[in-house]
Amino acid sequence: MKSTERHKLKENDFARSVRQAREAFETKGTDIARIGGVIVVAIVLVAGYGWWRQSRNAAGNAALADALAISEAPVVAPAAPAPGSALPAQQPGTYPTERAKLDAALPKFLDAADKHGSTEAGVAARYHAAGILAGLGRYADAEKAYQTVVDKAGSSIYARTARLGLADAQVAQGKYDSAISVYRELTTDANSQLPVDGVLMQLGRACVKAGKKDDAQRAFNRIVDEFPTSSYAADAKRELEDAKKAG
């Protein structure tokens, strides 16, 4: 092979190598740009979600605060008007009766719970609404609200206290077996963070109402034996004696 031909062949090989390298770079450059674009989009999405979540939590907290402001407002009965005079105006930020205050707070809590149900503030609002519903004697509605809190609150203290409220609402409706089951679970839950002596008292009383005297005695005995200094101890002893006499 002539030297000129060998030189041209080398030039062709070099040109081919350059062309292949350029094409590879262009292809990889496109991939790099594409990956970079994906990363940028991901960062924007994460930042946007963080902002949305923070904004949502802030809105939920504000709604809960508005409802709490009403539920914690003072009750000030209006003064008796002078003869022939109109009723005096209610002091701003107060309510004439506890019932009037609860009636005003309930829709605020329910609205906060419905609009921000998956946030911590929304769960708290639902819990407070359930308590008001129970206080108003609307036990079926209270039971549903407490159950929703249990379903959404995960392992938080709201879930445990809502289970206690749930059982109380069930007792008020005569659903003794369901309530007793919940009370028993709470007394054996090492992570419940609830005062066991208080739950045992509720359990014993529910058993009495259900006609389960032996179970009631066992619950009251646990308070006397395991929590002798409890504030429930005296009541447990008295109700234990009553349960024995009834038996």
Q: Name the nearest CA neighbour of 70 among 6, 125, 30.
A: 125
Residue 218 covered by a domain: yes
Residue 154 covered by a domain: no
Amino acid code (one letter) for 63: A
What is the pLDDT at residue 48? 47
Q: How far apart are CA 177 and CA 207, in angstroms?
A: 9
User: Is the pTM value of this prediction over 0.95?
Assistant: no
The DSSP 8-state label assigned to residue 95 in this structure reads B
131 pLDDT band (50/70/90 cuts)? very high
Q: Which region holds residue 95: left if phi is over 0, alpha if psi is between -120 and 50, else beta?
A: beta
- Tell me: the pLDDT tens digits for 190-237? 777 889 999 999 999 999 999 999 999 999 999 999 999 999 999 999
- Tell me: the pLDDT tens digits for 58-87? 888 899 999 999 999 999 888 777 777 777
State the first-to-last Cα distance of the chain, in angstroms, to the nearest integer.
Answer: 120
Domain range for 236: 189-247
Residue 183 covered by a domain: no
What is the pLDDT at residue 185? 93
Which two three-digit tokens encode residue 6? Answer: 């060998």
Distance of CA 126 to the CA centre of its chain: 7
Residue 163 covered by a domain: no
Residue 149 covered by a domain: no
Number of domains in the chain: 1
Residue 205 covered by a domain: yes
Q: Name the nearest CA neighbour of 202 among 232, 238, 229.
A: 232
DSSP 3-state percent helix, strand, coil across the chain (nearest 5) = 75, 0, 25
Residue 196 covered by a domain: yes
Residue 108 covered by a domain: no
